A and B are shown apart, each in its own frame.
Chain A
Amino acid sequence: MPRALVIVGAMVFILFAIAGLMAAVYALAALLPSAGRLPQIVVLMLVFVMVIASLLTIAERKWSAMIQDRIGPNRARIDLPLLRDRPLGGVPHLAADALKMLFKEDFVPKRANNFLFNLAPILAFGPVFALFAIIPVGPTLKLMGRDVPMVIATPDFGVLFLFAIASLAVYGTSLAGWSSNNKLALLGGVRASSQMIAYEVALGLSLVGMMIAFSTVQVPQMLEGQARYLWQFSRDFDFGLPAWGIFLQPVGLVLFFAAAFAETKRTPFDLPEGDSEIIGYFVEYSGMKFGMFMISEFVEVVVLAGVTTALFFGGYHLPFGEQWLARQEPFASSPWLLGAILGTVFWIKVIVLCWLQLAIRWTFPRFRYDQIQSLGWKMLLPAGLLNVFITGALVLWDPSLRAIAVVGLIEIAIVAALTARGTEEHPAKIASPGASTPDAAALTAASRAGHG
Chain B
Amino acid sequence: MAYDASRDPRQDVRERIYLPELIRGLAVTTRHFLRNLFGQRDTNVNVLNRKGTSLVTTVQYPEERVPYPPGYRGLHRLVPREDGKPRCVACYMCATVCPAQCIYIEAGEYDPGDPAAESRVIEKFPTTFVIDELRCIVCGFCVEACPKDAIRMDTTKHAPSEYTREGFVYDIPKLLQGPSVSHPSDPWNRRDGSKPPAHQEFEPHARISKP
Contacts and interface: CB of A to CB of B under 8 A. Distances in A.
Q: Do A and B come from one complex?
A: yes
Contact of A66 (B6, B14, B36): B36
Interface size class of B (residues with CB under 8 A): 20 to 34
Interface stretch (A67-75, A199-207, A389-397, A439-447): A67-75
Contact of A69 (B4, B23, B26, B56): B56
Contact of B37 (A7, A254, A364, A418): A7
B58 interface: yes
Given A67-B33, A69-B32, A363-B26, A419 B20 contact: yes
A359 B7 contact: no
Contact of B40 (A3, A356, A360, A423): A3
A69 B57 contact: yes
A60 B13 CA distance: 32
B33 A63 contact: yes
A11 B25 CA distance: 26
Interface string B42-58: 00000000000011111
A2 interface: yes
Interface centre among A4, A419, A426 (most CB of B within 10 A): A419
A200 B124 CA distance: 87
A2 B37 CA distance: 12
Given A69-B57, A71-B58, A359 B40 contact: no
Interface in B50-70: 54-58, 60
Nearest to B6: A428
A82 to B, nearest CB: 18
Contacts of B39: 3-4
B29 A67 contact: yes
Contact of B23 (A2, A7, A70, A419): A419
Interface in B1-49: 1, 4, 6-7, 13-14, 17, 19-20, 22-26, 28-30, 32-33, 36-41
Given A65-B36, A71-B60, A423-B7, 20 more contacts: A7-B37, A63-B33, A67-B29, A67-B33, A69-B32, A69-B36, A69-B55, A69-B57, A70-B58, A254-B19, A363-B29, A415-B17, A418-B13, A418-B14, A418-B19, A419-B14, A419-B19, A426-B4, A426-B7, A428-B7
A71 B56 contact: yes
A415 B20 contact: yes
A426 B38 CA distance: 34
B7 A66 contact: no
B57 to A, nearest CB: 7
Interface of B: 1, 4, 6-7, 13-14, 17, 19-20, 22-26, 28-30, 32-33, 36-41, 54-58, 60
Given A3-B38, A3-B40, A4-B38, A364 B56 contact: no
Nearest to A424: B4
Contacts of B41: 3, 71
A166 B176 CA distance: 70
B32 A419 contact: no
Interface size class of A (residues with CB under 8 A): 20 to 34
A66 B20 contact: no
Contacts of B7: 423, 426, 428
A359 B38 CA distance: 16
Contacts of A2: 40
B38 A7 contact: yes
A320 interface: no
B26 A418 contact: no
A362 interface: yes
Nearest to A3: B40
A448 interface: no
A359 B32 CA distance: 11
Contacts of A356: 26
